A and B are shown apart, each in its own frame.
Chain A
Amino acid sequence: MELVNTGAKDRYLESLLRGQPPASPLSWLNQIRADATERANALTVPTTRDEEWRFTDPSPLLKFSFQPARGAPRLAQADIQRFVIPEASSDRLVFVDGMYAEELSTHCGHEHGILVTSLAQGLSSHGEVLQQHLARHADFHNDVFCALNTSFLHDGALVIINKNVAYRTPIHLLFIATKPETAAYPRSLVVAETGSRCVLIEEYISLAENVYFNNAVTEIVVGENARAQHTKLQQESHAAFHIAHCAVTLARGANYISNTVTLGARLSRHNLHVLQAAEGTHCALDGLALISGRQLADTHTYMDHAKPHGASRQLHKCIVGDAAHAVFNGKVLVREGAQLTDSAQSSRNLLLSGKAHVDTKPQLEIFADDVKCAHGATVGQLDAEEVFYLRSRGLDEAEAKSLLTCAFAAEIIDKIPVASLARRLKQKVMEQTQVREQA
């Protein structure tokens, strides 16, 4: 696919748009990509003058130039062994620098009524489902990064859970970064059909502390009375940029449970858009950002209560050390007619140093009159009385603070439905809080 429009408003985007994959044999897919490319050319990289980017300045990204990787390095199974999640070893899709690594992936679930494969393979076997859903949920028209990802759309992860299949084995989507100055456009589509169940782990990790750019888009469609549990774990290199957009659409009676854990990246932005497109849906959107140094982690959630009888629960926590900066913007929209919506949001933030910074902004827009919507935000430090209580029982100050910080994080981590992953994360939190004390 040639980039015909050289009149891009934004030279930086123009450079990013180079090196697109060749055209697909599917005309509908080419049309989506052409539309997305057009939008990417029309839009510009946002600045802090844009309301949606008020607290997060994306300009550090512009200091680097990124190109898609050509020919992914071949990793051996041994290279990724430490990232294998025992509970999820039967269904795993691995992507290296954005490219699908068949030899590292496993898919055993097809015998049980699920499909876990690459988008490229799915396009030939399940074209109809893909045409119905791909790029139909993550709107790229007004989001430059989503448009950029979509203009590169050719491969990614595809998960389909067939009707009434309750698949309790976690499915692991693992995105590994290896090369510096690489731009990758991870793309995932998950379709949980009517009455099905699934547990997803979407994980971003890095083998080296490189500068690279991961621009991810994930679409999740939860069918009638289906239930999807989704854990996103972002552990990019601390020099990397991670900008992700996750769009979730819920059918009648659907249930979506999300846990987002943000540990890595120099600058990260996670957009989570959940659309309650039919009546009687339930969502839990929980998140934890644990950052230090000069990291910036921005979580923007958008809960769209479009239909009546929807419920949403949200607890977002940030633990911010050193001179790091956390942002949480939680928008809850209750549309006209979405009566009996029951929504509660809580943002709790722990600052571990005097230079740590958090911006938290609940944003409620309510156009129905018979609803229950609550929200609250707290920003604070470790409780001195709790620290003293622990010290009076013999723990030294650093141990006491580490224990309390871990406990603060545990409330989110304990919600993750995969035990080994929760253990690994707790270990990680403990290491990070202890390192900080010594620093």
Chain B
Amino acid sequence: MNNKNTLLEVRNLSAEVAGIEILKGINLTVKAGEVHALMGPNGSGKSTFAKVLAGHTDYTVTGGEALYQGKNLLEMAPEERSRAGLFLAFQYPIEIPGVSNSAFLRLAYNTMQAARGGEELDPLEFDDFVREKIKIVDMDPSFLDRSVNQGFSGGEKKRNEIVQMAMLEPKLAVLDETDSGLDIDALKIVANGVNHLIRPDNAIVLVTHYQRLLNYIVPDYVHVMEGGQIVKTGGKELALELEKRGYDWVRAEFDATRAAA
């Protein structure tokens, strides 16, 4: 199962926040070139899983393991995960008053370049570079001069996340409800941006509540989360079925299978 194309291998992962167990044994393997959709009702643990992968300090892993490119992901600090090519697009990108977006983007880019042994850019060089990158999501250059995400609309914040993804060129990008709060035009723009970034050597995990995003970014696998576990995995057609039938039948089927076993 483990080969050089495997980016992420999660086995029986469980985690808690403030003493409450949220993840109860997750198994997931992601290989280069794949797009995975992680769906499920509210409170099923999708976003928690995304944050645990990124190393959020509020969550405690209580069992299982996660290997990223064969290395123990859970031992790595959040910044080490980022520098190793793991990217989390936040569901609610954080506003940072007083830090200009362009300075923040340059700092993030240069940190990544330093980690990869690439060339760092001075503010002028970076300005040319970032102005190209923001075109991918049709972002107005005036957003570069503002404080990070401050006063941005929901859609503008999500675009800013995709700009960071475009700049940092992650191996594995986890997009946490990147579609939430977007109108249909913004959704198309963001989805189009993501599609441009899919390559044979990287992979994407889309955490989403709704099927509509998957009309624009077509997944290879659809996983359904429920009660802190992945209870069903299928192809892209599974998303359509969920859209029609809801989530309850998946849980019932899972419980029946488990009872039989």
Interface residues of A (CB under 8 A from B): 383-386, 388-397, 403-404, 406-408, 410-411
Contact = CB atoms under 8 A, between A and B. Distances in A.
A402 to B, nearest CB: 11
Interface string B106-121: 0110011001000000
Nearest to B110: A394
Nearest to B164: A393
A389 B94 contact: yes
A404 B94 CA distance: 12
A393 B96 contact: no
B40 interface: no
Contacts of A386: 94, 96
B97 A407 contact: yes
Contacts of B98: 406-408, 410-411
A381 to B, nearest CB: 14
A388 B90 CA distance: 11
Contacts of A411: 97-98
Interface band, chain B: 20 to 34
Nearest to B94: A389
B57 A384 contact: yes
B99 interface: yes
B77 interface: yes
Interface of chain A, helix or strand or loop or mixed? helix
Given A384-B57, A386-B94, A388-B78, A393 B108 contact: yes
12 contacts: A388-B56, A390-B96, A390-B104, A392-B55, A392-B82, A393-B104, A393-B107, A394-B79, A394-B115, A404-B96, A404-B99, A407-B147
Nearest to A405: B98
Nearest to A409: B98
A393 B99 contact: no
A391 B77 contact: yes
A393 B94 contact: no
B79 A389 contact: no
A397 to B, nearest CB: 7
A394 B56 contact: no
A391 B80 CA distance: 9
Given A386-B94, A386-B96, A410-B98, A392 B88 contact: yes
A407 B115 CA distance: 25
Given A386-B94, A394-B82, A407-B96, 18 more contacts: A383-B94, A384-B57, A384-B58, A388-B57, A388-B78, A389-B90, A389-B93, A391-B78, A392-B90, A393-B104, A393-B108, A393-B168, A394-B111, A394-B112, A395-B111, A404-B96, A407-B99, A408-B98
Contacts of B168: 393-394
Contacts of B58: 384
A411 B97 CA distance: 9
Contacts of B187: none
A389 B96 contact: yes
A131 to B, nearest CB: 46
A390 B149 CA distance: 13
Contacts of B108: 393-395
Nearest to B147: A407
Contacts of A390: 96, 104
B94 A403 contact: no
A392 B94 CA distance: 11
B94 to A, nearest CB: 4
B111 to A, nearest CB: 4
B224 interface: no
B79 A395 contact: yes
Contacts of B93: 389
Contacts of A383: 94
B38 to A, nearest CB: 18
B133 interface: no
A391 B112 CA distance: 12
A395 B94 contact: no
B83 interface: yes
A346 B54 CA distance: 36
A392 B54 contact: yes
B178 to A, nearest CB: 15
Contact of B111 (A384, A388, A393, A410): A393
B96 A391 contact: no
Contacts of B56: 388
A392 B78 contact: yes
A304 to B, nearest CB: 31
B17 to A, nearest CB: 13
Contacts of A393: 82, 104, 107-108, 111, 164, 168
B94 A385 contact: yes
A407 B103 CA distance: 11
Interface in B18-58: 54-58
